[in-house]
C-alpha cells in the first residue's frame, strides 16, 4: 500500500504505459488501415485516448521521482534534464494525438466511418509520438542503469523543455494570469457541456434531444483540453508545489476516472433517442458517476491551497 501512495513508486508503475500502450495502439491502427476495419480503428483510437489520460500522472510523478534521486552522486544531471525535456514534449504529443483520436471517435459515431484525412493525421501524429516516447523511455532507463548507458551522455535539441516553459510561465506575470483565465474558461466549457449531458442522461431536461447535446460535446472536450494544457503549465512552473500536495493526487485520480467515464459515451447508443425518451439504466448509472467524479475534480482542485501546505 505504501508503494501505491509514493509518487516515485507510482512513476515506476506507470512509465511503461505511454510507450508500450502507444506501441500497441499504433500497431493496431496500422493493421486497421491495411485491413480497412473500422472496428479496429475505433479500438486503436480508444487506446490513444486512454494513453493520453494515463500520460498525465506518468509525467507529474516523474517530477517527484526526479526530486528523490537528483542529489545522488551516481546520477547524471545531464540525463535527468534530457529525460525531463523529452518527457514534456512526449506529453504534448500524446495529448494532441489523444485529442484528435477522440474527435475521430465522435465523428465515427455520427458518420460510421473514419475519414481518410483524419486517419492520415492520426497516423502521422502517432508515429512522431511513438519515436519521441521511445527515446524518452530509453533515456529514462539510462538514469539508474549504468549498464545500458552509452559512452557519451545523450542530449536532445529540446533540452530541458519543461523547465524552460515552466520558468517562463512562473517569471512572466501576464502568462500565469492568462493561464488562470483560460483554465476557468475551460472549466466552464467542460462542466457546462458535460453537466448538461449527464443531467439529461439521469432524467432531467427531458425536452432536450440527445442529438442536440451531442453537437455540444466538442466544446466540452475543448474545455478539457484547455484545462489539461494550462494545468500542465502550472505544474511545470512550480512542480514542488504540487508533488508534495496530496490534494493534487486526489484531483488526478478523480480526473482520470471522470475522463474514462466520459470516453464511455463515445460508444453509448443513447444519442439516437428522441426528446422525452428515457436513457437506459446503465447510461443513467454512468452519468450519475460522472457527476460525482467531476464534482470531485472541482473539490480537490479547490482544496489545493488548503491541504498539504504546499501553496
Tens of pLDDT, residue by residue over 233-250, are 888 888 878 877 888 889
Output the CA angle 99-217-264, nearest 5 degrees: 70
* Whole-number Å distance between alpha carbons of 307 and 248: 9
pLDDT value of residue 70: 58
pLDDT value of residue 283: 82
Q: What percent of the chain has pLDDT over 90?
A: 18
What is the pLDDT confidence band of residue 145, given thresholds at 50, 70 and 90?
Answer: low
Whether residue 188 is predicted with pLDDT greater than 60 in this model: the reply is yes
What is the pLDDT confidence band of residue 121, given thresholds at 50, 70 and 90?
Answer: very high
The pTM of this model reads: 0.85
Q: Which residue has the higher pLDDT, 278 or 94?
A: 94
* Whole-number Å distance between alpha carbons of 249 and 227: 16
* Whole-number Å distance between alpha carbons of 296 and 22: 29
Tens of pLDDT, residue by residue over 75-88, are 666 677 777 788 88
Q: Once rounded to an integer, what is the mean pLDDT over residues 290-305?
A: 89
Read off the C-alpha cell for 36: 480497412
| Helix/strand/coil for 275 | coil
Q: CA dihedral defined by 289, 295, 297, 298, rounded to 10 degrees?
A: 170
Whether residue 4 is predicted with pLDDT greater than 60 in this model: the reply is no
Q: Which residue has the higher pLDDT, 311 or 92?
A: 92
| Helix/strand/coil for 173 | helix
Whether residue 196 is predicted with pLDDT greater than 60 in this model: the reply is yes
Q: Which residue has the cell 529514462?
A: 140
Read off the C-alpha cell for 121: 493525421
Q: Which residue has the higher pLDDT, 63 or 194?
A: 194
Whether residue 201 is predicted with pLDDT greater than 90 in this model: the reply is no
pLDDT value of residue 292: 92
* Whole-number Å distance between alpha carbons of 44 and 309: 41
Per mean pLDDT, which range of 63-77, 95-109, 143-157, 202-216 is the poorest? 143-157
How many residues are present in the chain?
Answer: 311
What is the pLDDT confidence band of residue 156, given thresholds at 50, 70 and 90?
Answer: low
Backbone angles phi, psi at 157, to 5 degrees: -60, -25
Please answer whether residues 158 and 135 qualify as being in contact, where contact means their C-beta atoms are separated by less than 8 angstroms: no
Please answer whether residues 15 and 137 qualify as being in contact, where contact means their C-beta atoms are separated by less than 8 angstroms: yes
pLDDT value of residue 73: 57
Provide CB contacts within 8 A for 29, sequence distance 6+: 40, 41, 44, 45, 48, 122, 123, 126
Q: Which residue has the higher pLDDT, 2 or 293?
A: 293
pLDDT value of residue 2: 47
Q: Once rounded to an integer, what is the mean pLDDT over residues 86-113?
A: 87
Q: Average pLDDT, whole number, for the chain?
A: 81
What is the pLDDT confidence band of residue 203, given thresholds at 50, 70 and 90?
Answer: confident
Whether residue 181 is predicted with pLDDT greater than 90 in this model: the reply is yes
Q: Once rounded to an integer, what is the mean pLDDT over residues 2-11?
A: 63
In whole angstroms, what separates CA 220 from the centre of its chain? 15
pLDDT value of residue 59: 86
pLDDT value of residue 1: 44
pLDDT value of residue 96: 93
Of 219, 211, 197, give the one whose Cα is nearest residue 273. 211
Amino acid at each position: 500500500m505504501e508503494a501505491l501512495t509514493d509518487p516515485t513508486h507510482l512513476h515506476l508503475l506507470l512509465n511503461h504505459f505511454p510507450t508500450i500502450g502507444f506501441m500497441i495502439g499504433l500497431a493496431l491502427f496500422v493493421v486497421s488501415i491495411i485491413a480497412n476495419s473500422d472496428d479496429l480503428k475505433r479500438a486503436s483510437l480508444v487506446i490513444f485516448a486512454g494513453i493520453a489520460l494515463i500520460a498525465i500522472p506518468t509525467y507529474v510523478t516523474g517530477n517527484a521521482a526526479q526530486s528523490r534521486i537528483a542529489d545522488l552522486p551516481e546520477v547524471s544531471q545531464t540525463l535527468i534534464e534530457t529525460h525531463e525535456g523529452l518527457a514534456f514534449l512526449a506529453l504534448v504529443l500524446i495529448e494532441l494525438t489523444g485529442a484528435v483520436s477522440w474527435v475521430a471517435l465522435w465523428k465515427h459515431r455520427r458518420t460510421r466511418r473514419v475519414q481518410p484525412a483524419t486517419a492520415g493525421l492520426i497516423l502521422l501524429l502517432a508515429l512522431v509520438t511513438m519515436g519521441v516516447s521511445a527515446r524518452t523511455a530509453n533515456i529514462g532507463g539510462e538514469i539508474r542503469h549504468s549498464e545500458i548507458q552509452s559512452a557519451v551522455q545523450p542530449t536532445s535539441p529540446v533540452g530541458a523543455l519543461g523547465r524552460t516553459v515552466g520558468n517562463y510561465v512562473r517569471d512572466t506575470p501576464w502568462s500565469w494570469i492568462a493561464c488562470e483565465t483560460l483554465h476557468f474558461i475551460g472549466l466552464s466549457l467542460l462542466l457546462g457541456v458535460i453537466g448538461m449531458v449527464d443531467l439529461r442522461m439521469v432524467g432531467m431536461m427531458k425536452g432536450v434531444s440527445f442529438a442536440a447535446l451531442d453537437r455540444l460535446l466538442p466544446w466540452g472536450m475543448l474545455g478539457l483540453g484547455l484545462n489539461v494544457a494550462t494545468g500542465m503549465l502550472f505544474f511545470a512552473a512550480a512542480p514542488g508545489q504540487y508533488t508534495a500536495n496530496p490534494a493534487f493526487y486526489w484531483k488526478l485520480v478523480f480526473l482520470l476516472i471522470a475522463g474514462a467515464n466520459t470516453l464511455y459515451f463515445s460508444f453509448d447508443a443513447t444519442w439516437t433517442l428522441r426528446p422525452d425518451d428515457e436513457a437506459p439504466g446503465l447510461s443513467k448509472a454512468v452519468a450519475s458517476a460522472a457527476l460525482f467524479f467531476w464534482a470531485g475534480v472541482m473539490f480537490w482542485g479547490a482544496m489545493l491551497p488548503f491541504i498539504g501546505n504546499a501553496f
